[in-house]
Amino acid sequence: MTARTTVAVVGAGPAGLVLAHALRRAGVEATVHERLSRAELERTARAGVLEHRVVEYLRSLGLADRLTAEGERHGECEITCLGERVPVDYGALSGGVRHWVYPQQLLVRDLVAAYEEDGGTVAFESPVESVALDGDGRPVMRTAGGKLRADWAVGCDGARSTVAAALPGGADGAARRYPYDWLTVLARISRPVERIRYAVHADGFAGMMPRTADVGRFYLEVPAGEELSGWDEPRIRAELERRLALDAADPALGALLETGMLRMRGRVARRMRAGRLLLAGDAAHTVTPSGAKGLNSAVADVADLAGALAAAVRGDHGALDGYQQRRLEAAWRTQEFSDRLLELLHLPAGLPPEQREFALRLRLERIHRIARPGPEGAEFARAYAGAGELPVAGVWPPAQRTAVASRSTGR
């Protein structure tokens, strides 16, 4: 049996779900296909730090009620180096722009619930297995439930995107594999993480990030390709406590709930559109976790795409013309931010031990510069917290733009 839809949204992560919502609000018919089961999707712990402008955009769609009721505002982080703890008050440095902390899996749960309330459905455990184009250049997809024909297909299906693979000539662009990985830990903690902590350390970076009142996310730099099996629990705990210099005033580490290895890479596709096939989020670009930009840039992609695609569906195909260029430029800005932060947080690969102090001292100098009021601090702070508005300009009806601007106050 062949089903038909206007827009096939492939993937029900934050990008796919927000896009489906925005299309629905614009009166565009869409289907959402997700490989995972609902339980798996809503259990997968990933990001948790949301930019100011992303939350403002979600608010404008009415999708941030729970997030803003239960999430926490964060405007300060701390970077430690050579025994110094340097607070970075990026909320003040940026002129009042702060993050929201709310775990990604809770946001996904809220987005699925809101989409269903609106009358939408997500097809879970229904991966799009392949995408081909018919004689008119329209996508034809194979799913577990049969064939699906659409006017447009949007790949929000992550780094191994089926839609990206179907772009004629491929979408592969430039990529970098970093010479280290991050061991990831989700752990019970005795009290909330009050501010993100980055530890720049001779033995490797470590990080402590907030999630909920009793759960934190931790990172440890390890050599690239390191196997998790070499890291038993006592070793992980000891290394986190040592590099982060956890003391009595810090959250105490409780049970380790989840551990993993995050292979550190950056990549940006060569293109995000071929005819009626479009890409958004990780399907088009992977950014390392440094700076917490992955989820944020995925939502920024679809904020741009939704309006343009709705216009294209109504017959204005030119509306999509600038999408790829705008979002590839944004993807490179994001890569550059994340890469620069990585450089600050890690010592150069292969640095002999006797030269580490020098490299650490240089990093401490830079940490002081970004922590100090002034142009450099302000630039870092604004990019870090996501100042301004998502670029939805020009494609949304005026009422929507007003709503975004007028709700920028409050918590």
Q: Which residues bind ligand PHB (CB under 6 A)?
A: 47-49, 196, 209, 217, 289-292
- Smallest gap from Cβ 184 to ligand PHB, in A, equals 8
Smallest gap from Cβ 341 to ligand PHB, in A, equals 6
For 141, residues 6+ apart whose C-beta sits below 8 A from its C-beta are 8, 10, 33, 128, 129, 130, 131, 132, 147, 148, 149, 150, 153
Q: Which of these, 194, 210, 303, 207, lies nearest to 264 by C-alpha position?
A: 207
CA dist., res. 337 & res. 307, Å (int):
27
DSSP 252: P
Kindly state the smallest distance separating residue 348's Cβ from ligand PHB, in Å. 19
CB of 187 to ligand PHB, least distance (A): 13
Tally of CB atoms within 10 A around 393: 11
Minimum distance, C-beta of residue 335 to ligand PHB, in the bound complex (Å): 14
> Helices 52-60 and 398-406: crossing angle, nearest 10°?
130
Instruction: Name the nearest CA neighbour of 151 among 276, 257, 54.
Output: 276
Position closest to ligand PHB via CB: 209
Question: By C-beta, is 47 or 154 nearer to ligand PHB?
Answer: 47
Residue closer to ligand PHB (CB basis): 17 or 215: 215
Write down the least CB distance from residue 267 to ligand PHB, Å.
18
Among residues 47 and 284, whose Cβ is nearest to ligand PHB?
47
Minimal distance, residue 99 CB to ligand PHB, in Å = 8
DSSP H/E element including 199 = strand 196-200
Using CA atoms, how far apart are residues 56 and 222, in angstroms rounded to an integer?
A: 36
Of 317, 380, 400, residue with least CA distance to 90: 380
**120 or 289, CB closer to ligand PHB?**
289
Structure tokens at 306: 């939704």
- ∠ CA 42-59-9, nearest 5°, is 50
Q: Smaller CB distance to ligand PHB: residue 112 or 196?
A: 196
Nearer to ligand PHB, 9 or 345 (CB): 345
Cβ proximity to ligand PHB, 344 vs 364, nearer residue: 344
